Amino acid sequence: MFQWISRLVLFIVIFLFTFTAYAVSGINLPYGVTPTSREIYDLHMACFYICCVIGTLVFSILIYSLIKHRKSKGATAVHFHEHLGLEIVWTVIPFLILIGLAIPATIVLKHIHNTDRSALTIKVTGYQWKWKYEYLDQGISFFSNLSTPQDQILNNAPKGKWFLLEVDNPMVVPVNTKVKLLVTADDVVHAWWVPELGVKQDAIPGFVNENWFYADKIGTYRGQCGELCGINHGFMPIVVQVVSQVDFDKWVKLHRPNAGNEANQTLTMKPLSEKELMILGKAQYDKSCGMCHQATGLGLPPSFPPLKRSRVVTGPLDGSIAFVLTGVPGTAMQAFGQQLNNKEMAGVITYIRHAWGNDKIIINHKQPIIVQPSDIERVRRKNL
Amino acid sequence: MTDAAVYTQDPDSHEEHHGPEHGFKRWLFTTNHKDIGTLYLFFSFIMMFVAGAMALLVRVELFEPGKVLLNPEYFNQMTTMHGLIMVFGVIMPAMAGLANWLIPLMIGAPDMALPRLNNWSFWLLPFAFAMLISTLFMSGPAPDFGWTFYAPLSTTYGPKSTDFFIFSIHLMGASSILAALNIVVTIFNMRAPSMAWMKLPLFVWSWLVTAFLLLAVMPVLAGCVTMMLMDRHFHTSFFNAAGGGDPLLFQHVFWFFGHPEVYILILPGFGVISAIIPTFARKPLFGYRFMVYATAVIAILGFVVWMHHMFTTGAPIAAQLYFMYATMLIAVPTGIKVFNWVATIFKGSLTFETPMLFALGFLVMFTLGGFSGLMVALVPSDYQYRDSYFVVAHFHYVLVSGSLFTIIAGVYYWLPKWTGQMYNERLGQLHFWLTTIGMNVTFLPMHFLGLAGMPRRIPDYALQFTDFNQICTVGAFIFGFSQLIFLYIILKASFGKRTYQVSNQVWEGATGLEWTLPSPVPYHTFETAPVVP
Amino acid sequence: MKPIPKSHKRLTLLLVCGVIFMFCFCYMLVPLYQWVCKQEGINGKSANSAGSAAPGMQIDYSRTIKITFTTTLHHDLKFKFLPLQQHIDIHPGERKLIYFLAENQSGKEITVQAVPSITPADAARFLKKTECFCFTQQYFLKNEKADMPVYFFIDPAVSRDIKEVTLSYTLFDVGEFIKKQKHFTQGRIDL
């Protein structure tokens, strides 16, 4: 029995290790692209090796006596049960090891807390369930939503490479620049975590926390929300694009609120065809609404009511628009007025009034189905 | 064995000496510590299957990326309920069950000090958990904010069922407080005259310390959920920044309870191990005195480290450094315990019956959990580990071995004493190996997942985490289903045909007052105080 | 049943008192926490009330600290709330007056409270305000506009490591928590 079992254990250990070697995923902390992430990595490895040494010592003594001191091998118990010297030794030695670990940890922590001059300040706000980035000096501000389509989550489409780790608007920062993050939340506690940058900072509603990173390698780094924040906690990833200073300047120029604002405004006001609206609307619905109201429009009652045959959706047009613009205070229904532009809003509302048989109800009531950006603008003005 | 001499019946006293009543009434009205211990143990056993099934549902959902079975809302309810029930419904009642059964036997007392209170403290539990579990069947979500129920997710944003959750926490808290009170009074006042403090078995010592911890922190939890209730319904703003409160205050209050709570779950287990290892090493426990001191030191340190659960919340560096140092310090007394156990095994005369196997499993895996504990204590590294699967792996290594394994070891160890029947050794060993393998296959890969960046409490994950999650799920099913063997062993020992009687001492190396009693233990014991050798 | 011995009663009573004390202690944690936060400046608690300068405070011209201002509107509050300057440089000990612009766009009268927060945590208790709109709740009529001044300084005792400080306000609708006081418009300039 015993032999059989030990063989089984051996087999499983070998299996696990070989599997590990072939597994695609990493098995250790990323080394990262910031000085802090590397210091953390080194500290982590140092602690790991110390644990390995202690573990080897303790377990070899244990295994030695498990093999040697068996009754079946004729071992008789030696009756010692106290030794002050030994007790002092294994109190003092671990204590010294701990001091040896605490010193580098303190140094690294001091470095992390060092908020020397930063070149760029970005305010990060956690929302249920998306992030908002505000570049304080550049005046740029945008939301960052999960961009993985619902179809992939529901297994109706093949999953992309960055399934659940992709967003519509990533945070863009220049390389070799100290970026300061001011982290806060709008509703519940979130945490902004990108392993490769070595940053995890809780976002607490009402209060601002600070953190920073200095990425020295161009690339795209991904992370996720690190604190349970409700139903879609797993669906609010973080993507940070580290680009060259030149590319960053270009990006800023493009996204400055004043740059090409006029053109943007007219562009978002241009009437669109029904087909265009539907394609735009479906994509935007997946991003902004589908998580809660579901691709089927059935929602997850009672927290998230269905949109199929909903009175609000199938009711008078201005009511529908106002509802989405202003949200419902005190519920999960947010005000999307600030988050979506007129074109996107028109698409979404056209889509939900069209889908799941809602169009038939609306036709019966002799109400329009198609919504144009100009309608949104009209309701916007009326509501303010 | 001179058991008859130790266990003497006094023919003059009649009221105390009837046997148990029959049927349902016996269990409902019982004030006998053995009956109540049995009730606690069976209750926690049932709850273990309930919470275990929830864990398996969670693992099924995580078997592959994309939606498998549960929608995210139900997934959160499952993780929350799994945590709450495992902590409050499985580990704590099981430990209380062991305490009820064993403390009077170990200290030579006829019963607990406050038997009627004892009955009440058990019977609060089924109602508390009926209330908690009923939320799953209500319209609207059950509690879905994690077992740590951080505000404002559980206050402003909590589902309606949160109020049921709050009251059930109140009931559980009351139950634990009463049980702890009873245990303290019993240990202080009911010891046999010759049972000196430094002769107390370590299980009794650990439970004494645990009981004080319970008395100190369960009221804090009660206060915490009462504040939540007031915030939800009476327009106070303890945890709402708008009214001058602070969401962080919730985390402070919760972890002021929460960290000692972890030791409440583990310390009695240390006691069980300190009873089992000497028995099967046939050698007295090494460093008894230091074991007692270490237990007390762990408990005291447990009160001053709570903020290490909140390193990422943006505290001043001085606070972070203090809590890091204090946390690392806990490794010292914990290390002392581990080294003493190893020293007890060293040069013993070892046999490997099931209780010993579970004790050894505990020793190895708890040490591993301790190592990852040391790693998460370092603030800079903790920035990367916090709320990742690394933490999930860490606390499952510590709690599954420190609590679940020790409880199972204890049950195997004392089951022959309680029932008078030996369990099937081969089945017991099979149970051990399957459980240990299942447990490691489940939780070892979680370390890698966490390091690679998978956050905890997510219902769906990115593609690169797939392989390890699949291994975890397979392991979880081995781990879960192997408990059916345990179920069979328990049922057979409790309700099966009496096959053969075991000796009073049961185990060759067992020492202590409980082994001087007949097996099975009579309904009333130690009515005259025994003499402690 | 035997009567419960006296010694049990005494010990039980003692323990029950302990339990009641711990329950009360949980509530005592609230003021205790506020006090610690105020001392340590955690979460800007020290910024909630008027601070005073040490007598004979000197301006330390050898150091310059950059103060960044930022505002957050809590949960879809319809308000305009902006700092008039994004950031300023200040010497420790120097008093500065800066303004925030607030405009009620909610279409109804509303009572709001600005909750201050200062980072880094180690600098928080050294940023002291002598006047601030955040000391009290603020009542706004429909479409009312106001300039909200903050008069503050940095205590020269601040650590030399601190070179940047962020002062942030989150504006909350406090309709549920209106304090029993006259509707406040104190400490601001109506426009």
Residue of B nearest to C7 (CA): B189
d(CA A97, CA B216): 32
- In words, the CATH class of domain C45-190 is mainly beta
Same domain, A102 and A137: no
Kindly determine whether residue C177 and residue B185, on different chains, have CB atoms separated by under 8 Å.
no
Same domain, A242 and A284: no
Q: Is the pLDDT of residue A3 over 90?
A: no
Kindly determine whether residue A115 and residue C162, on different chains, have CB atoms separated by under 8 Å.
yes
CA distance C95 to chain A (A): 22
Q: What is the pLDDT of residues B90-102, one digit of tens each?
A: 999 999 999 999 9
Of A81-95, B36-50, B429-443, C131-145, the least confident:
C131-145
Mean per-residue pLDDT, A284-303: 80
Specify the higher pLDDT residue, A328 or A350: A350
Kindly determine whether residue B189 and residue C27, on different chains, have CB atoms separated by under 8 Å.
no
In a domain, A17, yes or no: no
Of A90-94, A141-145, A364-368, C155-159, the least confident:
A364-368
Kindly determine whether residue B375 and residue A90, on different chains, have CB atoms separated by under 8 Å.
no
Residues of B in contact with C20 (CB under 8 A): 219
Give the end of a domain, one of A55, A90, A112.
A112
Residue of A nearest to B138 (CA): A302
d(CA B447, CA A158): 28
Same domain, A177 and A204: yes
- A117: contact with C, CB 8 A cutoff: yes
- A59: contact with B, CB 8 A cutoff: yes
Same domain, A281 and A231: no
- A184: contact with C, CB 8 A cutoff: yes
Specify the higher pLDDT residue, B402 or A384: B402
Of A296-305, B124-133, C21-30, C154-163, the least confident:
A296-305
Residue of A nearest to C69 (CA): A136
C-alpha distance from residue C152 to each of A209, C68, C129, C138, C189 (Å) = 21, 13, 4, 19, 17
Same domain, A132 and A236: yes
d(CA A5, CA B55): 27
Same domain, A134 and A168: yes
Give the end of a domain, one of A255, A281, A304.
A255
Cβ neighbors of B286 (< 8 A, separation 6 or more) are: A80, A81, A82, A83, B340, B341, B343, B344
Q: Is the pLDDT of residue A15 over 80?
A: no
User: Hey, is C83 helix, strand or coil?
Assistant: strand
- A113: contact with C, CB 8 A cutoff: yes
User: Hey, is A272 helix, strand or coil?
Assistant: coil
Classify each residue of B237-249 as buried b or exposed e, where b means 16 or more C-beta atoms within 10 Å of its C-beta: bbbbbbbbbbbbb
User: In this structure, what token pair is assigned to residue A309?
Assistant: 């045959």
Percentage of the residues of chain B whose pLDDT score is greater than 90: 72
Kindly determine whether residue C120 and residue A115, on different chains, have CB atoms separated by under 8 Å.
yes
Show the domains of chain B with their CATH numbers. 36-232+246-516 (1.20.210.10)
In a domain, A234, yes or no: yes
CA distance C93 to chain B (A): 22
CATH code, domain carrying A48: 1.10.287.90
In a domain, A18, yes or no: no
CA distance B515 to chain C (A): 27
User: Hey, is B189 helix, strand or coil?
Assistant: helix
In a domain, A51, yes or no: yes
Rg (CA), chain A: 29
Q: Are A191 and B387 in contact (CB under 8 A)?
A: yes
Residue of A nearest to C65 (CA): A117
Give the end of a domain, one of A195, A225, A255.
A255
Q: Which of C30, C115, C177 is facing B249, going by the closest CB pair? A: C30
Residues of A in contact with B152 (CB under 8 A): 187-189, 205
CA B190 to chain centre: 25
Q: Which of A116, A137, A206 is facing C115, going by the closest CB pair? A: A206
Residue of A nearest to C73 (CA): A186
- C106: contact with A, CB 8 A cutoff: no
Q: Which of C5, C30, C45 is facing B238, going by the closest CB pair? A: C30
pLDDT band for position A283 (50/70/90)?
Answer: confident
Partners of C88 in the β-ladder: C67
Kindly determine whether residue B433 and residue A83, on different chains, have CB atoms separated by under 8 Å.
no
* pLDDT (0 to 100) of residue A79: 81
CA B318 to chain centre: 33
Q: Which of C170, C191, C157 is nearest to C74 (CA)?
A: C170
d(CA B169, CA B222): 7
Residues of C in contact with A210 (CB under 8 A): 119-120, 166
Specify the higher pLDDT residue, C163 or B187: B187
User: In this structure, what token pair is assigned to residue A10?
Assistant: 């051996």
- B18: contact with C, CB 8 A cutoff: no
CA C154 to chain centre: 16
- A208: contact with C, CB 8 A cutoff: yes
pLDDT band for position A10 (50/70/90)?
Answer: low
What are the residues of chain C with a beta carbon less than 8 Å away from any beta carbon of chain B? 1, 4-5, 7-8, 11-12, 15-16, 18-20, 22-27, 29-30, 33, 37, 40-43, 45, 48, 74, 113, 115, 119-122, 124, 170, 172-174, 176-177
Percentage of the residues of chain B whose pLDDT score is greater than 70: 96
* pLDDT (0 to 100) of residue B290: 92
What is this model's ipTM?
0.89
Q: How many domains does chain A have?
A: 3
Place of tokens 């057979």: B492
Q: Are B147 and B83 in contact (CB under 8 A)?
A: yes
Q: Is the pLDDT of residue C76 over 80?
A: no
CA B60 to chain centre: 25
Q: Is the pLDDT of residue A331 over 80?
A: no
Residue of B nearest to A101 (CA): B378
Measured in degrees and rounded to the nearest 5, phi and psi for residue C150 equal: -125, 130
Kindly determine whether residue C43 and residue A384, on different chains, have CB atoms separated by under 8 Å.
no
Q: In what order do the strands lie in the sheet with C164-173?
A: C87-90, C65-73, C164-173, C110-119, C138-140
Which residues of B form the catalytic set?
82, 111, 147, 175-176, 259, 261, 263, 274, 308-309, 334, 337, 456
Mean pLDDT across chain A: 84
Q: Which of C66, C75, C166 is facing A182, going by the closest CB pair? A: C166
Query: Around C10, how many Cα atoms within 13 Å sit in the side-chain half-sphere?
Result: 5
Q: What is the pLDDT of residues B340-396, one digit of tens each?
A: 999 999 999 999 999 999 999 999 999 999 999 999 999 999 999 999 999 999 999
Q: What is the pLDDT of residues C172-187, one digit of tens each?
A: 888 777 766 655 666 6
- B304: contact with C, CB 8 A cutoff: no
User: In this structure, what token pair is assigned to residue A138?
Assistant: 């550049």
* pLDDT (0 to 100) of residue A23: 43
Residue of B208, B227, B246, B255 best to disrupt the C interface, most CBs of C under 10 A: B246
C-alpha distance from residue B429 to each of A2, B174, B425 (Å) = 10, 38, 6
The H-assigned helical ranges of B62-138 are 72-84, 92-107, 115-134
Same domain, A143 and A221: yes
Mean per-residue pLDDT, B57-83: 92
Kindly determine whether residue A184 and residue C164, on different chains, have CB atoms separated by under 8 Å.
no
In a domain, A264, yes or no: no
Amino acid in the structure at residue C163: K
Q: Of A314-328, B2-16, B21-35, B289-303, where does the model show the most confidence?
A: B289-303
- CB-based burial label for A160 (10 Å; 0-12, 13-18, 19+): middle
Q: Which of B153, B246, B342 is facing A61, going by the closest CB pair? A: B342
- Angle among Cα B484, B486, B492 to the nearest 5 degrees reads 105
Q: Which of B177, B238, B241 is facing C19, going by the closest CB pair? A: B177
User: Strand A120-127 and strand A178-185: pairing?
Assistant: parallel
- A178: contact with B, CB 8 A cutoff: no
Q: In what order do the strands lie in the sheet with A171-174?
A: A171-174, A238-243, A219-225, A190-194, A199-203
Taking a contact as any Cβ pair under 8 Å apart, which residues of chain A between 15 and 34 contact chain C? none
User: Strand C127-132 and strand C95-104: pairing?
Assistant: unpaired
* pLDDT (0 to 100) of residue A267: 60
Range of the domain at A212: 120-255
Domain ranges of chain C: 11-40, 45-190
Kindly determine whether residue B332 and residue A95, on different chains, have CB atoms separated by under 8 Å.
yes
d(CA B316, CA C40): 8
Mean per-residue pLDDT, B12-22: 56
Place of tokens 């303890």: B238
User: In this structure, what token pair is assigned to residue B526?
Assistant: 């130690």
d(CA C134, CA C47): 9
pLDDT band for position B436 (50/70/90)?
Answer: very high
Cβ neighbors of A250 (< 8 A, separation 6 or more) are: none
CB pairs under 8 A between A and C: 70
Kindly determine whether residue C29 and residue B248, on different chains, have CB atoms separated by under 8 Å.
no
